[in-house]
Amino acid sequence: MPAPRERGYCPLCHGYDPSRPTGFPQIDPVAHNPLKACITCHKPHQPEPPHVPQECSACHGEIARMKAFSHHALLDCTRCHATPVRHKVTPRVVRPDKPRTREFCGGCHASDARGPKEIPRVDMETHGGRYLCWQCHYPHYPEGK
């Protein structure tokens, strides 16, 4: 069977069905990249495992373009985001964690943190109060403002 280019056909066989044999590739078509054609990431009907993008920018191109000009351009996404393996399977359902403490950003940005002097520093005792850093600063923007 030739691979269909439209997304609506793949779930006919690959939509989740508990009666299918274990190991048969199944997805939740609502949660698994609903706006992309399946062949964007997968090589249909090949015996090898499906192609899964290794870089976050494969799906998060807009963020990657902004980040390229930011202070964080040289950092890997996983430096700040713990990305569960299941995020690649159901990206709309399982999302990467955001930092949960002010100390996370303070590891690089606190006034007494180690690292290159070019890294912007703040007094973590007086700056921001009870808010987490990302609640005011969007780290993917060029200036993190």
pLDDT, mean of each 10-residue run, the chain (145 residues): 70 80 73 76 65 64 77 79 74 80 90 87 91 86 61
What is the Cα–Cα distance from 120 to 22, expressed in whole angstroms?
Answer: 51
Any idea what the Cα angle at residue 56 is, between residues 54 and 62, rounded to 5°? 145
The residues that bridge with 122 in the sheet, in sequence order, are 110
pTM, rounded to two decimals: 0.55
Of the candidates 94, 92, 97, 82, the one whose C-alpha atom is nearest the C-alpha of residue 132 is: 97
In a domain, 35, yes or no: no
Q: How many domains does the chain have?
A: 1
Which residues, at least 6 apart from 27, have a Cβ–Cβ distance to it below 8 Å? Answer: 10, 11, 14, 15, 16, 89
In a domain, 125, yes or no: yes
In a domain, 142, yes or no: yes
Which pLDDT score, from 0 to 100, does residue 51 have?
Answer: 47
